[in-house]
């Protein structure tokens, strides 16, 4: 007997757990599966509404007592680098970029492990093995690329050395930087910032208006670097708006406070081919 997947996406809510960004806070996520023939359209539509992709899942914070996590993106046409960012671009001009299909390699995993050990040893990915890493890279139902950065060969080595990696989704209106990591010994090179600057150039060359950076969380040192980019927008109050003064930005009363999950789901706009009744779980 043949069974088909439901056309309209089903939405679910995770159990509350400690927030990784703000001490003393509890996080909860609203999520749905990303699968089927309309995965690309769904990824585009929900990315425009503050969702992020993780493998074959799309999620958005839905915390009962906090609304600090806001999706951020850079307007490519209006972006002007700061002097410090120009210095970072010049410092890393020796790197060679190579964009490939989403395929995991041993070199990527070794770099990933070094990065985690140096910067996120107690984070949620610290125990990720090579098979889980491969799933993170390869399990994508949308158009994704692995953007690798190589240092020229030296000390008699034959091949260039893998120095930084970014898993990137190609949306209809921009590039979404899903996850990036780099050689921790080159921390002074600000490789994380450099990859964002380079993705802005890639988007500009491709005629794409935005680079999506994930979530900006005011009050979280881990996420403060995103506010240093010019022409930044955040998804706040159900719309994209310019973040003109991040230092004085005030998070409103939690937008999801006392709003039932069914109402949150009902407010989500779906592509026309999926615009049927949505069922929260």
pLDDT for res 5:
47
Q: What is the pLDDT of residues 156-168, one digit of tens each?
A: 555 689 999 999 9
Q: Is the Cβ–Cβ distance between 8 and 32 less than 8 Å?
A: no
Q: What is the pLDDT of residues 74-130, one digit of tens each?
A: 999 999 999 999 999 999 999 999 999 999 999 999 999 999 988 765 666 777 899
Q: Residue 2's pLDDT band (boundaries 50, 70, 90)?
A: very low
Residues in Cβ contact with 178 at an 8 Å cutoff, skipping those fewer than 6 apart: 52, 53, 54, 144, 166, 167, 168, 169, 214
Q: Between the CA atoms of 49, 51, 56 and 57, what dihedral angle is there, to the nearest 10 degrees?
A: -110
Q: What is the pLDDT of residues 214-269, one digit of tens each?
A: 999 988 888 889 999 999 999 988 899 999 888 888 776 554 445 778 888 888 99
pLDDT for res 1:
39
């Amino acid at each position: 007997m043949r069974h088909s997947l439901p056309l309209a996406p089903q939405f679910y809510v995770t159990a509350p757990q400690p927030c990784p960004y703000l001490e003393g806070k509890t996080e909860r996520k609203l999520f749905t599966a990303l699968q089927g023939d309309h995965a690309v359209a769904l990824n585009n539509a929900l990315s425009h509404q503050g969702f992020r992709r993780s493998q074959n899942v799309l999620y958005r914070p839905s915390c009962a007592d906090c609304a600090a996590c806001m999706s951020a993106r850079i307007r490519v046409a209006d972006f002007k680098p700061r002097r410090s960012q120009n210095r970072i671009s010049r410092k890393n001009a020796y790197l060679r970029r190579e964009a490939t299909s989403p395929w995991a390699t041993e070199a990527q995993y070794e770099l990933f492990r070094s990065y985690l050990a140096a910067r996120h040893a107690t984070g949620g990915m610290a125990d990720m093995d090579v098979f889980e890493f491969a799933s993170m890279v390869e399990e994508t139902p949308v158009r994704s690329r692995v953007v690798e950065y190589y240092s020229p060969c030296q000390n008699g080595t034959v091949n260039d050395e893998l120095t930084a990696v970014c898993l990137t989704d190609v949306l209809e209106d921009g590039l979404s930087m899903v996850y990036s990591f780099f050689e921790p010994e080159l921390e002074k090179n600000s490789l994380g910032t450099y990859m964002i600057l380079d993705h802005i150039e890639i988007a500009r060359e491709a005629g794409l208006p935005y680079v999506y950076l994930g979530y900006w969380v005011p009050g979280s040192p881990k996420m403060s670097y995103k506010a240093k980019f010019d022409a930044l927008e955040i998804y706040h109050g159900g719309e994209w708006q310019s973040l003109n003064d991040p230092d004085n930005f005030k998070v409103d009363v939690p937008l999801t406070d006392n709003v039932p999950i069914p109402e949150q789901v009902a407010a989500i706009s779906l592509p026309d081919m999926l615009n049927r009744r949505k069922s929260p779980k």
